[in-house]
Amino acid sequence: MARNLTTPGGKILLLLDEKNTELTVTEIVEIMKKNTSATTITNWLRELEKLGLIEVREERTPVGTRKKLVGLTEKGKLAAEYLRRIIGVIQQ
């Protein structure tokens, strides 16, 4: 089955690119959660990971809990750059 980058997925890529750092899944949900459920956002993240555009890794906090960190892969950085170019052309 072919997978495609969706508009919400593109927004997540641009968000990660703009922040230029890893974000937790919770942070992404808080930023993106305008009329969108956390479950839907998590599904978008899974799809981006399947496409090889983001990497999700788990890290333990000092108090022993776990958090998931999301960052762009090289492929994801290239995709975000490409999206910014497209947006620039459209806005001209």
pLDDT of residue 43: 92
**Class at the top of the CATH hierarchy for domain 7-91:** mainly alpha
Judged against a pLDDT cut of 50, whether residue 1 lies above it is answered with no
**From the centroid of its chain, how far is CA 48?**
7
pLDDT digits (tens, 9 = 90+) for 64-73: 899 999 999 9
Q: What is the pTM of this model?
A: 0.85
Domain ranges of the chain: 7-91
Q: What is the DSSP letter of 78?
A: H
pLDDT digits (tens, 9 = 90+) for 16-60: 999 999 999 999 999 988 778 889 999 999 999 999 999 999 999
